[in-house]
Structure 1
Amino acid sequence: MWQIALVLVIYLPLVIVAGHYLYQVTMQQKTWLDPVMNRVDNIIYKFCGIKQVDMTGKQYVIALILSNAIMIFIGYLILRIQSTLFLNPNDIDNMEATLSFNTIISFMTNTNLQHYSGESGLSYLAQMLVITFMMFTSAATGYVACMAFCRRLVAKSDTIGNFFVDFVRVITRLLIPLSFIVALILVAQGSPQTLKGNETVHTIEGKMQDIALGPIASLESIKHIGTNGGGFNGANSSTPFENPTVISNIVEMLSMMLLPGACVVTFGLMVAKRRQKTLFGKQGLVIFAAMSILLLIGLVTCYIAESAGNPIINNLGISQDIGSMEGKEMRFGIPQSVLFTVVTTAFTTGSINNMHDSLTPLGGMVPMFNMMLNVVFGGKGVGLMNMMMYVMLTIFIACLMIGRTPQFLGKKIEEKEMKLIALCILIHPALILLFSALAVATTAGIAGITNPGAHGLSQVLYEYASSSANNGSGFEGLADNSPFWNMTTGFAMFFGRYLSIIIQLAIASLLAKKLWHSDSVGTLKTDNPMFTFLLIAIVLMIGALTFLPALALGPITEHLQIRS
């Protein structure tokens, strides 16, 4: 447990520092990178014809959608013709149409669900120009949407900023510098960074084996900093080239956790902006505490489940003194495997350092439930936006119970906002459950299920939870590279990403246009410990009511079966 505690202790000061820096970037204050990056930004603005003027909420959303659509089209084209392009030393063939659709939607929505194996399915050009490039742009899209949402929420006037300016600043002042630092650390630990082709070597068994090389370290850094998750290799961060040592494992976990937590700190600073000496901001601290408690609940549950092992293996006479090690790397063990599993799904990254399909039923239910909630920090900024929907829902429910007017940050929450909040909260479970029902009710869906019974249903639920939450990890027991699975998960990723962002920015716009009211004795306090526990209760209650029947048929049934 000390390994887990060490990572969490290191994380806290880092996230506070990153939150203050993200606040400076978001509010266009002076940063230490300005002397260099201002020149870079100006070149980009001039080349792209970007006018640095404020946008309306509608213009901001249109700019976000159109810029993403153009990148989707170009990326899809490259995947379809990659065999004819350069930087293809391993002679990788063109990607099939439905797989190309799934892949490009996956990486543009920051999901990074992979129905292919990176080292054999993509050329180096596609790995860099499509995959790595979209890891930057998709992460930047999520962060600027979140920061625009937060600015609009705390503003006393109808302001939102400029999408393209926010987009460029996040990439040049945040994602590129952090990725460069992490890439250097990974190279120092042993991750390859080369354009050489694969090497064929003789193994100690006298056989031949292809060793996949390539620009791995640069992809790995933005993969975690941008909460992307897609690996250069099919086995992702469980391979020694992507994740060579315990130090690289800790660095990758901290990289995943850094910016989603920093968004919460930044929001707290925005609310408390009049108090310049504040370290965190009470409102941000309340939300951070709620997310942290949910994270710790999942972490403890998963650790206990994996440490207990599998009783069926015990009955075979095989010792499990150190816990269930099936599907885990010996160099990481139970603690770092469990922490990585919980972090990658709580912060919706999708990177893996062990096989989630091999987790015990309850251990596997934790990452699945993290993605079903999609508010335990979340990734690329949208986790905070999702949690804000629950914050406003909690305020509305609490105020109805005590007879007060629902109000948050000086703005009244009324009928129109509540309808949109309810719709936003319901979209995510609807995508997971409806697509899962379609998969188990059709021949094409059933054809991909390789495990019958409760575990097979868990695989289906996990796949669509991962897609809708824009996570990208999988139980990997599914035969999912088929037109049915490529198309349905592609649509789940697309709608799970863009519908939520559009609705959330619309809610913030509605609130921004309302008259500001000062707090009174009748206003519900949202910056104290009581509200933290109210928020946690609402999140868990809605999550349990929505997903418990499906979980009961999947991981809970499997848990009871292996212990019967």
Structure 2
Amino acid sequence: MDIVQMLVVLAVLVLLVKPLGTYVYHVFSNEQNRLDRVFGGTERLIFTLIGVHKREGMGWKKYALSFMATNLILVAFSYVILRLQHALPFNPNGMGSLEPTLTFNTVISFITNTNLQHYSGESALSYFSQMAVIMMMMFTSAATGFSVAIAFVRGITSKGKTLGNFFEDFVKAHTRIFLPLSFIITLVLVALQVPQTLDPTLTVKTLEGAMQQIAIGPVASLESIKHLGTNGGGFFGVNSAHPFENPNPLTNVIQILSMWALPAALPYTFGLFAKNKKQGWVVFSAMMCLFLVFLSVAYTSEKTGNPAMSALGIDASQGSMEGKEVRFGIAQSALFTAVTTAATTGTVNNMHDTLTPLGGLVPLGEMMLNVVFGGKGVGLINMLMYAILAVFICGLMVGRTPEFLGRKIEPREMKLIAVAILAHPFIILVPTAIAFMTELGHGAITNPGFHGISQVLYEFTSSAANNGSGFEGLGDNTPFWNISTGLVMLFGRYISMIAMLAVAGSLMRKQTVPETIGTFRTDNKLFAALLIGTVLLIGALTFLPVIVLGPIAEFLTLR
């Protein structure tokens, strides 16, 4: 039954890829289509209000500057609101202002699409902050990532001289994708008993006669964009393990598909831009193969359970249910874990800190690779980066100038790709080492031994991959962790984005090379295998030593 549950979700996802990928292509192709009749009027009004009239195409530098400036303005706006929330409306529970370093961490977390939460939403934020800051940045950060991914795809596939207009892409991502889809999912979740209200916290009498406070609020609307935008920040501290956020297995499946469908559809969109659907299916196949391996490890490990329990004579035949909700069980918990870190969403329906060692290795590994579907556009950009790297390596092996989609890959592109590839492990491993070297860092660790190493490693890996989930045993709401993870989130988001936009800008200016009998094809099974091999090779070279110190050592110790 467990396997059937997972196969059904996988089948539904695959069925969604083509129609959703085609829809996204029509949104961003800048060609006239039927969508203009529905959304054109609203978009023209928005363009007029923000002063964007001609919507001229941009080079990579202007595109990068535009999205960085937009994000900076949103950060300043959000910081002020969180610091002044005690004096703002829609605060029926009288929430005070957030501490400065926690405010810094929170606004950086949400603008970078990370949604790492060093606070508990129901006890720290007012309804106004949840809506005006948290939900607002869930939309804008997702739209930013989507826009950059589309710009990158345009750069490496088109023969034009621009990557498109950021503000046009940004607005269309809202009006044609995230707002309508979020509205639909919100209505579905409300119908399935997820709260959506501005009423204050409920005070109820329990069966024992005690009074209990039950937090409610605009939960359904946050849940919809939280998953559609691969954001992950929960209205409640325990996220999608909370029965108000995720009441039953049906809402669980809806949330899985919501966070997975758009990232899975983007490779097909890429194929349409490249005028070669096989290119898109090759990228999708590589992502799916990696995902299935991770999912198999997670499910098998959690189903097998903890051998230490069996050694004590405790029946572990049901698998490891520690930290999991009975209403989901092993299968939907393992699938949710694999999807939320593959799509770099960060939402959780079980506590990752209580996963078995190899079960905990799965989210760590997916975030370290950061190409297994990935978040809103980042996974596609990173996988195409590895595709270019694979072509370059193959070209060196046969003594031929490497080409990708008809453009020659030369030193400039490879230097930028090297920066993007090396930055990711650097901003994970260096802060992890610093945390262990200082009392400010290792003083927050609540588990001794190898699991403590995994806790710290997970925190910085989640920050660098803009995922936001955590091994929640870490005492991370301190100035050290707020500032250090805030900086890691910034670097993890923008270094790779800017570097890959520069690659797209460089390739866009090059003349296309005619295909010959010696051209290395990138739309077949061989290249899919090479792509997977390149990802695994780079991942092993950079992260295997530290993984051995954490989850693998813990796994071996239990035996």
- TM-score, normalised to structure 2, is 0.98
Matching residue's letter, 1:557: A
CA distance in 1, matches of 2:222, 2:36: 25
Runs of 4+ residues over 4 Å off in structure 1: 30-33
CA distance in 1, matches of 2:327, 2:264: 28
Q: Give SS of 1:201's match.
A: strand
Which structure 1 segments of 5+ residues have no match?
274-280
Query: Which residue number in structure 2 is paired with residue 154 of structure 1?
Result: 157
Q: Give SS of 1:209's match.
A: strand
Query: Which residue number in structure 1 is paired with residue 49 of structure 2?
Result: 47
2:448 is the alignment partner of 1:452: yes
What is the number of residues matched between the two proteins? 556
CA distance in 2, matches of 1:408, 1:530: 15
2:197 is the alignment partner of 1:186: no
**Root-mean-square deviation (Å):** 0.9
Matching residue's letter, 2:168: V
Query: Which residue number in structure 2 is paired with residue 337 of structure 1?
Result: 333
Query: Which residue number in structure 2 is paired with residue 255 of structure 1?
Result: 258
From 97, 111, 116, the counterpart of 2:100: 97
Query: Which residue number in structure 1 is paired with residue 312 of structure 2?
Result: 316
Q: What does the per-residue CA deviation read over 1:422-458, in whole Å, with 9 as the maximum and x for residues that have no partner?
A: 1111111111101101111111001111111100000
2:76 is the alignment partner of 1:76: no
- TM-score, normalised to structure 1, is 0.97
Report the alpha carbon displacement of residue 157 of structure 1 after superposing the two structures with TM.
Answer: 2.9
CA distance in 2, matches of 1:520, 1:440: 54
Q: What does the per-residue CA deviation read over 1:471-493, in whole Å, with 9 as the maximum and x for residues that have no partner?
A: 00001110000000000000000
Query: Which residue number in structure 2 is paired with residue 276 of structure 1?
Result: none
From 438, 442, 450, the counterpart of 2:438: 442
- 8 Å CA contact 1:404–1:523 kept in 2: the answer is no
Report the alpha carbon displacement of residue 33 of structure 1 after superposing the two structures with TM.
Answer: 4.3
Query: Which residue number in structure 1 is paired with residue 30 of structure 2?
Result: 28
From 195, 204, 207, the counterpart of 2:210: 207
- 8 Å CA contact 2:353–2:470 kept in 1: the answer is yes
Q: Give SS of 1:365's match.
A: helix
From 3, 11, 14, the counterpart of 1:12: 14
Cα gap change, 1:156/1:212 in structure 2, threshold over 3 Å: closer, same or farther?
same
Q: Give SS of 1:522's match.
A: coil
CA distance in 2, matches of 1:554, 1:251: 33
CA distance in 2, matches of 1:212, 1:323: 32
Query: Which residue number in structure 1 is paired with residue 294 of structure 2?
Result: 298
Q: What does the per-residue CA deviation read over 1:403-428, in whole Å, with 9 as the maximum and x for residues that have no partner?
A: 22200011000111111111111111
Cα gap change, 1:33/1:511 in structure 2, threshold over 3 Å: closer, same or farther?
closer
CA distance in 2, matches of 1:19, 1:370: 23
**For residues 140-539 of structure 1, what are the structure 2 equivalents within 5 Å?**
140-272=143-275, 281-539=277-535
Which structure 2 segments of 5+ residues have no match?
none
CA distance in 2, matches of 1:323, 1:205: 33
Query: Which residue number in structure 1 is paired with residue 59 of structure 2?
Result: 56
- 8 Å CA contact 2:75–2:107 kept in 1: the answer is yes
- 8 Å CA contact 2:27–2:35 kept in 1: the answer is no
CA distance in 2, matches of 1:505, 1:527: 23
Q: What does the per-residue CA deviation read over 1:103-125, in whole Å, with 9 as the maximum and x for residues that have no partner?
A: 00000000000000000110000
Matching residue's letter, 2:258: S
Report the alpha carbon displacement of residue 362 of structure 1 after superposing the two structures with TM.
Answer: 0.3
- 8 Å CA contact 1:135–1:226 kept in 2: the answer is yes
Percent of residue pairs identical: 56
- 8 Å CA contact 1:193–1:215 kept in 2: the answer is yes
CA distance in 2, matches of 1:374, 1:536: 13
CA distance in 2, matches of 1:443, 1:475: 19
Q: What does the per-residue CA deviation read over 1:318-353, in whole Å, with 9 as the maximum and x for residues that have no partner?
A: 212121000000000000000000000001000000
Q: Give SS of 1:362's match.
A: helix
Residues 69-78 or 396-405, more deviating: 396-405
Residues 291-300 or 199-208, more deviating: 199-208
Matching residue's letter, 2:355: L
2:81 is the alignment partner of 1:85: no
Matching residue's letter, 1:38: G
Q: Give SS of 1:103's match.
A: helix
Matching residue's letter, 2:385: M
Q: Give SS of 1:210's match.
A: strand
CA distance in 2, matches of 1:271, 1:33: 22
Q: What does the per-residue CA deviation read over 1:143-181, in whole Å, with 9 as the maximum and x for residues that have no partner?
A: 000000000111123221110011000100000111111
CA distance in 2, matches of 1:156, 1:50: 24
